[in-house]
Amino acid sequence: MQIQIREIDHVVIRAGDPAAMTRFYCEILGCRVEREERELGLVQLRAGRSLVDLIAAGGPLDRNANGGAGRNMDHLCLRVEPFDGEALRAWLMQAGAHPGEVVARYGAEGLGPSLYLYDPEGNMVELKGPPAD
């Protein structure tokens, strides 16, 4: 049997301040809350066809209670379309984020523009545009 991966289904991020993280991913990056299970410390955010799950650090679902915030993953890459790098950077700066420069990087669809920024807990997020022609 050969496993064939189609796309990322979800990413789980430990959050010391789930409310601040939810605001960042929804208000700045455009996700929306899809499901919430407060007793478990879980907020599931819709990110296009994928999910970004936020779990409360130290909560019932946290399997890494000894790890620190900002040490949850290397980065999360979200495919953005349309992608206007300068307009995107301006929006992010206006929203209080500190995006890096738009640079061509290789991703699932090939070489194309992207930029990096950090969420409120120090997790790196890459916003990726379409591949260059």
pLDDT of residue 94: 95
Predicted pLDDT of residue 97: 94
Task: Please indicate, yes or no, whether the overall pTM of this predicted structure exceeds 0.95.
Answer: no
What are φ and ψ of residue 21, in 5° steps?
-65, -40
Question: Residue 21 corresponds to which tokens in the numbers above?
Answer: 């993280």
Let me know if domain 10-59+69-128 sits in CATH 3.30.450.40: no
- Give the Cα separation of 32 and 105 in Å (integer): 27
Domain boundaries, the chain: 10-59+69-128
113-125 pLDDT per residue, tens: 999 999 998 888 9
Q: Which residues of the chain have pLDDT under 50?
A: 70
pLDDT for 9: 84
- Listed residue (5, 9, 6, 11) closest to 126, CA to CA: 11
